[in-house]
Amino acid sequence: MDLILVRPHFHPHVALVQLNRPKELNALNLQLMAQLRETLKQLDADEEVRAIVITGNERAFAAGADIKEMAGKSAIDMFLIDQFATWDQIRKTRKPLIAAVSGFALGGGCELAMTCDMIIASETAVFGQPEIKLGIMPGAGGTQRLTRAIGKAKAMEMVLTGKHLPALEAERYGLVNKVVPVDLYLDEAMRLADEIAAMSPVAVRLAKESVNRAFETDLDEGLHFERKNFYLSFASEDQQEGMQAFIEKRPPHFQGK
């Protein structure tokens, strides 16, 4: 399998998805992306799962789309294959996605990490959009998400030169949530996933939708959307539980209802 799905015993509400083409540095071929799409769809529908961590291995999160698979394709082949429909479906995952990145996160690998909601990186992680060196340009959101994350000047430099961005710099520019030593990056991502999984899944879903809306609309529309989701959160049993637990000075127990 190009993908390994683990439901770790000590993290009952977290699913771990590992990209598994180590010899190819987890190059994202069509088969792997289709498996990822289907796995995320299944996890999104699983009530037990409240957060999802996507990782690679120490050497590579993913070194991009599979160049060998793409090399002989024509524009019309690419158009008909329409691989980005798969990416669109991954983007629509409603549960929180955390990328646990070590080593190379290049091209589609960087774009996949940015498609996730948060990124935990090891000190050895490097991010980049090197497509320009192949005579192409990013196609899975790189020019848009990188620019929104780190600003025009740095994004332009990375996209036009293919220059890598090391983990600590990526953290400084706000691309990455946290950088930790290489032996801790997966633990840290799982810890963050556990923390989110302890919250109300209803509130988490409404909040994720609202934060994402900030990138898709103007402020007035975004505030309107946020307000509707805020009111909707009061329809949940979790809202009653959360506020009652606060008043009774005890930890809340959220059911996702």
Contact flag: residue 139 with ligand CAA (CB under 6 A): yes
Active site residue 142: no
164 to each of 11, 68, 119, 170, how far by Cα in Å?
33, 22, 16, 10
Pick from 3, 16, 19, 27: which binds ligand CAA (CB under 6 A)?
27
Binding of residue 2 to ligand CAA (CB under 6 A): no
Print the binding letters for residues 150-189 with ligand CAA: x by CB under 6 A, - otherwise. ----------------------------------------
- CB of 27 within 8 A of CB of 60? no
Site for ligand CAA contains 108 (CB under 6 A): yes
* Annotation says 71 is catalytic: no
Nearer of residues 106 and 180 to ligand CAA, judged by Cβ? 106
Total residues contacting ligand CAA by CB under 6 A comes to 21
Q: Nearest approach, Cβ of 112 to ligand CAA (angstroms)?
A: 9
Among this protein's residues, is 123 annotated catalytic? no
Q: Would you please indicate which residues are annotated as catalytic (active-site) residues?
A: 65, 108, 111, 131
Residues that bind ligand CAA (CB under 6 A): 24-25, 27, 63-68, 104, 106-108, 111, 130-131, 134, 138-140, 142
